[in-house]
Amino acid sequence: MADFRVAVFASHTGTNLQALHQASLGPDAAFHLSLVLSNNRGSGALAYAHTHAIPAAHMSGATHPDPDQLDTAVRVLLNAHHIDLIVTAGYMKKIGPKTLKSFDGRIINIHPSLLPRHGGRGMYGNTVHEAVLASGDHITGPSIHIVTAEYDEGPVIAQKELAVRPDDTVESLSARVLSAEHILLPAVVQDLALRAIGRHGSGGVARQRP
């Protein structure tokens, strides 16, 4: 089993969790999914984790009404599982300051636009794709960035560019971007794992073009 331990934070269906898990089962995988955390007790992400015997937990204001206690509990859980990297994938809650400090530079998020365009508070899901189409952008695609205290403002470490088609709808654009996320995110996590365990060069994941 790979030594690089990854936690995935997700609030809903967890399709990126599924893509990461499938990638982690490959013979050359350098990472292992060691924890799934959700703020939604009924999320598809938790159901997937339970079905596939991945350690999982529900933590939210329902379990820890005090935000400081929730932050502490999340950090304790992560340390108990010896997590090396946190991936937030459709996680609809800010990470607390104690966890951010403990895992500084080791939390990444996937966002469905080419940041810094169409990022920030309230920009998630179809809201992003609506903004892309309304702006007349010719290119879009997912970005992966380091998580900081502010929404979508951390350094971007990888992007995959996709052409916006003249006949695109929110639904068609969302589907293509999501498919690209399922390719880009496992590649980035694999790259980070390889570099962390000293089996890769110093270069990062390249920006990918159509």
Write out the binding residues for (6R)-10-formyltetrahydrofolate: 109
Q: Which residue has the tokens 């609506």?
A: 130
Strands 85-88 and 143-146: unpaired
Binding residues, by number, are 14-16, 109
Residues contacting residue 102 through CB under 8 Å, at least 6 positions apart: 75, 78, 79
CA-based end-to-end distance of the chain: 34
How far lies 92's CA from each of 33, 61, 111, 142, 156, in Å?
Answer: 20, 13, 12, 17, 19
Give burial (CB, 10 Å; 0-12/13-18/19+) of 82: exposed
Structure tokens at 122: 């309230």
User: Catalytic residues, which ones?
Assistant: 111
